[in-house]
């Protein structure tokens, strides 16, 4: 699908369509001013830190703890969102039940709901005196103002990505391979494991990476529920804003540059996944 998406109508010597220079020029200028220039400022500043500046910024234990928390919580949340997302996508595509379309529409809510709204609502629900938090407090389980709360907010944010990448793949999955597997005597579980899961794997990985990238940078929904205790529940994006408020620009730039590199890596992985599986499929077939 991605190979098709990049192909354009074959252009003969002279393209009779107008506006190439104008549209490309305006598009590049817009991209340059709004996106590239600001990111370049960060890159230049980060390069200017030098080995000493980087070492000083990264040796700070508070920074290390924040990065560990951000990466750990984002990975956990992306994994949970992948499992729950697969469940929701499967149920939406394969089964018919009352309220299915409503459930389908609700999947996009975390996408549309402003993060600050989601943040205060989740906090109010899972705080020790909230609707769900009260029940959990009886068993001494703490969600809000602790690491589980951070993960919960990140699962909320990541869920639409995992559902919406798996759903179209499941929809186009033909029933024939499953029929063949069943006719050869495979149980439903074996069919699922050996026939369906391998087909879903690329979309699953893409959804995971999207959810992870989004979770790593998420700010609005997390800061309300996290509790924001240094060394304990302080995420990396929050530490950037704290460093900025302290006028410690170098400290902020170092953390931001690391997050930026991580987002580049995620984008790279997401773009490589189709190529990777395409090649493997060809070799096997």
Partner 1 sequence: MADRLTERSNPPSRDPLQEPAWLRALLIGAAVLSMALLVVLPLAMVLASAFGDGFRAWWDALAEHDARAALKLTLITAAIVIPINAVFGVFAAWALTRFEFRGKRVLLAFIDLPFAVSPVVAGLCLVLLFGTNGWFHAFLQEHDIKILFARPGIVLATLFVTFPFVVRELVPLMQQQGADEELAARSLGAGAWTMFRRVTLPNIKWGLLYGVLLCGARAMGEFGAVSVVSGHIRGLTNTLPLHIEILYNEFDGTAAFAVASLLAGLALVTLVLKFWLEARHGDALANSHRRH
How large is the greatest C-alpha to C-alpha distance in the chain, in angstroms?
75
Pick out residues in 102-161 that bind partner 1 (CB under 8 A).
Answer: 103, 105-110, 112-118, 120-122, 124-125, 130-132, 152, 155-156, 159
What track of x and - describes contact with partner 1 for positions 18 through 37 (by CB under 8 A)?
A: xxx-xxx-xxx-xx--xxxx
Q: Which of 65, 178, 199, 248 binds partner 1 (CB under 8 A)?
A: 178
Pick the piece of the chain touching partner 1 (CB under 8 A) from 8-16, 56-64, 141-149, 277-285: 8-16
Nearer to partner 1, 96 or 283 (CB): 96
Q: Which of 47, 55, 87, 276 binds partner 1 (CB under 8 A)?
A: 87
SS3 of 102, please? helix
Please count the residues of this chain forming the interface with partner 1, following the rule CB under 8 A. Answer: 97
274, with CB counted inside 10 A (0-12, 13-18, 19+), is middle
Continuous segment of H or E residues that includes residue 137: helix 131-138
Q: Are 81 and 155 in contact (CB under 8 A)?
A: yes
E-strand ranges in 62-152 read none
- 230 is a site residue for partner 1 (CB under 8 A): no
Nearer to partner 1, 146 or 212 (CB): 212
- 278 is a site residue for partner 1 (CB under 8 A): no
**What is the Cα–Cα distance from 54 to 10, expressed in whole angstroms?**
49
- 58 is a site residue for partner 1 (CB under 8 A): no
CB of 40 to partner 1, least distance (A): 9
Pick out residues in 241-260 that bind partner 1 (CB under 8 A).
Answer: 241, 244, 249, 252-253, 256, 259-260
User: For the residues of 21-57, what is the DSSP string, one character each?
Assistant: HHHHHHHHHHHIIIIIHHHHHHHHHHHHTHHHHHHHH
- 202 is a site residue for partner 1 (CB under 8 A): no
Q: How far is CA 36 from CA 43, 194, 214, 237, 271, in A?
A: 10, 44, 20, 20, 20
Nearer to partner 1, 39 or 284 (CB): 39
Q: Are 156 and 122 in contact (CB under 8 A)?
A: yes
- 42 is a site residue for partner 1 (CB under 8 A): yes
- 197 is a site residue for partner 1 (CB under 8 A): no
- 271 is a site residue for partner 1 (CB under 8 A): yes
CB of 186 to partner 1, least distance (A): 9
Q: Are 231 and 65 in contact (CB under 8 A)?
A: yes
Task: Determine what percent of the chain falls in helix, strand and coil, rounding each to the nearest 5.
Answer: 80, 0, 20
CB of 50 to partner 1, least distance (A): 16
């Amino acid at each position: 699908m991605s190979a098709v998406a990049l192909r354009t109508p074959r252009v003969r010597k002279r393209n009779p369509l107008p506006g190439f220079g104008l549209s490309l020029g305006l598009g590049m200028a817009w991209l340059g001013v709004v996106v590239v220039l600001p990111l370049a400022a960060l890159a230049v500043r980060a390069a200017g830190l030098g080995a000493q500046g980087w070492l000083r910024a990264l040796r700070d234990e508070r920074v290390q703890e924040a990065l560990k928390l951000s990466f750990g919580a984002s990975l956990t949340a992306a994994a949970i969102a992948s499992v729950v997302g697969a469940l929701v996508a499967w149920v939406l595509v394969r089964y018919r039940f009352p309220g299915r379309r409503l459930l389908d529409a609700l999947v996009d809510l975390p996408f549309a709901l402003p993060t600050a709204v989601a943040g205060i609502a989740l906090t109010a629900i899972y705080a020790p005196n909230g609707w769900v938090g009260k029940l959990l407090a009886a068993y001494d389980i703490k969600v809000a103002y602790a690491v589980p709360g951070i993960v919960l907010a990140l699962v909320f944010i990541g869920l639409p990505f995992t559902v919406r990448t798996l759903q179209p793949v499941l929809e186009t999955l033909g029933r024939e391979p499953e029929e063949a597997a069943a006719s050869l005597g495979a149980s439903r579980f074996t069919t699922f494991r050996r026939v369906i899961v391998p087909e879903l794997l690329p979309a699953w990985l893409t959804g995971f990476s999207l959810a992870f990238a989004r979770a790593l940078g998420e700010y609005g929904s997390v800061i309300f529920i996290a509790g924001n205790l240094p060394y304990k529940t302080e995420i990396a994006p929050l530490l950037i804003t704290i460093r900025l408020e302290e006028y410690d620009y170098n400290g902020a730039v170092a953390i931001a540059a690391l997050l930026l590199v991580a987002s580049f890596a995620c984008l790279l992985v997401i773009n490589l996944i189709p190529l990777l599986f395409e090649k493997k499929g060809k070799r096997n077939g």
